Chain A
């Protein structure tokens, strides 16, 4: 899948920008704050219906304006030609259109244009709490399985209803139990499917991670990951269901006392291991950096094998703190990858040494005060 044309209006520091993209490597350089990331963030909106930088749509509207608009033209194997546009205004909220026809739900967009992003924020994946890793795996699987995304949305809603019931209910215990039961049944149903899918994907993902860590680090430390949930994970949904029901029974008193749902995939953790040591506890800065990078490259390679079309890859300012050797390995990997790639960099990396800009499939852009210029070479 690739985007060949992008138009943005009132988006972050861009007032109005129109660009044609190259089908393979697109390198975007320019000083800090020039508007490089905004360009690929706009593409991200058309893939995932949200920013990978900002948490709220409100803050990406150009200062002094009341709305933003992004429009892109895509082509690929799954669908040969189509337009995606995204508009947001303070009054009307966010809307997504595919070929000018509005999507009923924003979530319908996810997976239409698969995307993998590498950003400096990736270090949170290995350094910070389990919520970061859950959100990584949820975004990961949602792009390849609409059913998974649906279960996630459903699970969240059921959990919210159940939590409210636990918090608000004041009355006899046996009545509360009978009120909880209809929610328990649905929680178990949606939750078990989520766990089974996470387990299935992570088991396959392990192998990709091993290969990519070895490739990028050049060292033969073995990586592994361990999916931890309240029960023994399995790909068998019925198996998880029966364990889930038992566990809910077991913790009932605790849940009533704490007024919150304590069992389920919303508490899952993924442990990252390097030579059997837990990375989060024992890893060095450099190991964290490389691990996070491998996670995203593994995602890219997993998608490339699993999907009928190649995902779009974005690297936002990741070359800044890589040594020259690692930079070279990464750029070689990108050359090797057949899909479309976007690279932003504030630093003058010698891209010209690794990327052939005479090839019309590659393109070099410079951004200065939100104005994009096409240059033939660095």
Chain B
């Protein structure tokens, strides 16, 4: 066996590091790219460079943005006194797609987990408290963290800290996903849904 292009090989090696991409897929992508015209390859390369160089974090909410403050924090229409607390920026992306929530966000940048060496001090919790004590007129904090042990611990910790402020603390409901059937729900979710049932 002889490798005639070291560059092709390098491209494959880098592509194979992408999530969900094995060496075979990486090979296919690299060969595909090689067959495209120069313009396409340059666009792709630029997009990747911009992703790293130009995407930044909003200094207010911690979400990713092309400018600081981000569109959401800057938008006066989103000033409704609500802050939704999420673990990571991808959660913002998902909640935004629902177009239901019209308040602002606060991205913690992680979740409390001693085993991963993440304590409350490594999350953007102080920044959250500053916002609530600041001039944003916050009256409700909505905790939208994952319903596992770490998410619960984080919610509990934040809720406790918020007791000193005059804000309502709420959490998103846990239960049965829409468009599914009861028989496909695991018992843990179902018992939780029963516990937090509401009046019809």
Contacts and interface: CB of A to CB of B under 8 A. Distances in A.
A154 B188 CA distance: 11
B115 A161 contact: yes
8 contacts: A147-B188, A161-B113, A161-B114, A164-B114, A165-B119, A168-B117, A179-B119, A182-B154
A307 interface: no
B149 A154 contact: yes
A147 B188 CA distance: 7
B172 to A, nearest CB: 18
Given A168-B117, A181-B156, A182-B157, A158 B149 contact: yes
Given A179-B119, A181-B160, A168 B114 contact: yes
A146 interface: yes
A161 B117 CA distance: 10
A197 to B, nearest CB: 14
B160 A179 contact: no
Contacts of A146: 187
Nearest to A162: B114
Nearest to A155: B149
Q: Chain A interface mostly helix, strand, loop or mixed? A: helix
B150 interface: yes
Contacts of A169: 114, 119
Contacts of A338: none
A160 interface: yes
A114 B157 CA distance: 40
A183 B149 CA distance: 8
Given A150-B188, A164-B114, A182 B119 contact: no
B79 interface: no
A157 interface: yes
Given A162-B114, A181-B156, A157 B191 contact: no
Interface residues of B, number: 19
A165 B114 contact: yes
B115 to A, nearest CB: 5
Contact of A147 (B112, B117, B149, B191): B191
Given A164-B115, A169-B119, 11 more contacts: A158-B149, A161-B153, A164-B114, A165-B114, A168-B117, A169-B114, A181-B160, A182-B112, A182-B156, A182-B160, A183-B153
A332 interface: no
Nearest to A165: B114
B164 to A, nearest CB: 13
B110 interface: no
A185 interface: yes
A179 B188 contact: no
B148 to A, nearest CB: 8
B68 interface: no
A162 to B, nearest CB: 7
Contacts of A66: none
B116 to A, nearest CB: 9
Interface in B151-169: 152-154, 156-157, 160
Interface string A169-188: 10000000011011101100
